[in-house]
């Protein structure tokens, strides 16, 4: 079963729906993630609403291509699982490439059993750009790269694939979680 993420129009930066860009909605005590490589504040990429929780994705863009921001565990990106209750917009760091230029709603649309594939093969659906998929099977551009959970060392579960919503080198980004451990991971391939 494939569920596409379609361009759902632009929205306010704090809308509590799945979106690329805008402001992260975070729990009390949240500290904006810093890149291990350049020590700058990361860029907020996506808010994925899963009902009971939210997956929040960040990636360094202070020196694109120099911070291993495509690697799941090199410290150039971070992903979090937050309980859905009690979130509020994060305070923006004073410096760094912290936000995307616009906030785009990621609208889920069931698309039957056709496997997600190359964007060229999809074209617009319902007149809207395809910006990724929610769940289903990851479509890998390179070798399969399912990360192991930092908590329990088991392979993580696939959450979403994102295309072109941020600087993924022209490729695809992949979001994973381990729900028992409340761990999340992010990587991209091109």
Q: Which residues bind to Zn ion, rule: CB under 5 A?
A: 35, 37-38, 60, 62, 67, 149, 151-152, 178, 181
Q: How far is the CB of 183 from Zn ion (least distance, A)?
A: 5
Q: Using the minimum distance from each CB to Zn ion, give the nearer residue, 37 or 119.
A: 37
Shortest approach of Zn ion to residue 127 CB, angstroms?
Answer: 37
CB of 116 to Zn ion, least distance (A): 25
CA–CA gap between residue 145 and residue 11 (Å, rounded): 32
User: Can you read off the two tokens belonging to residue 151?
Assistant: 């908590």
- Of 147, 144, 136, 85, the closest CA to residue 110 belongs to 136
What is the distance between the alpha carbons of residues 82 and 103, in angstroms, rounded to a whole number?
A: 20
Phi-psi region of 76 (alpha: psi -120 to 50; beta: other; left: phi over 0): alpha
Q: What DSSP character marks residue 40?
A: P
Smallest separation (angstroms) from Zn ion to the CB of 179: 8
Q: Beta partners for 49?
A: 54
Radius of gyration for the alpha carbons in the chain, expressed in angstroms and rounded: 15
Nearer to Zn ion, 2 or 62 (CB): 62
């Amino acid at each position: 079963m494939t569920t596409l993420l379609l361009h759902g129009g632009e929205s306010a930066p704090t809308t509590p729906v799945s979106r690329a860009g805008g402001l992260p909605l975070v729990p009390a005590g949240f500290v904006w993630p810093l890149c291990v490589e350049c020590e700058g504040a990361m860029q907020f990429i996506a808010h994925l609403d899963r009902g009971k929780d939210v997956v929040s994705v960040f990636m360094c863009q202070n020196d694109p291509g120099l911070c291993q921001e495509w690697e799941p565990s090199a410290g150039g990106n971070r992903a979090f699982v937050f309980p859905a209750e009690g979130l509020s917009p994060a305070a923006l760091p004073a410096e760094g490439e912290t936000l995307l230029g616009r906030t785009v709603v990621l609208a889920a649309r069931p698309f039957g059993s056709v496997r997600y594939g190359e964007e060229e093969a999809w074209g617009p659906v319902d007149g809207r750009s395809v910006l990724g998929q929610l769940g289903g099977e990851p479509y890998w551009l390179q070798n399969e790269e399912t990360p192991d959970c930092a908590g329990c060392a088991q392979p993580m579960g696939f959450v979403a694939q994102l295309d072109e919503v941020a600087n993924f080198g022209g490729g695809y980004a992949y979001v994973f979680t381990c729900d028992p451990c409340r761990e999340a991971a992010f990587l991209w391939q091109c």
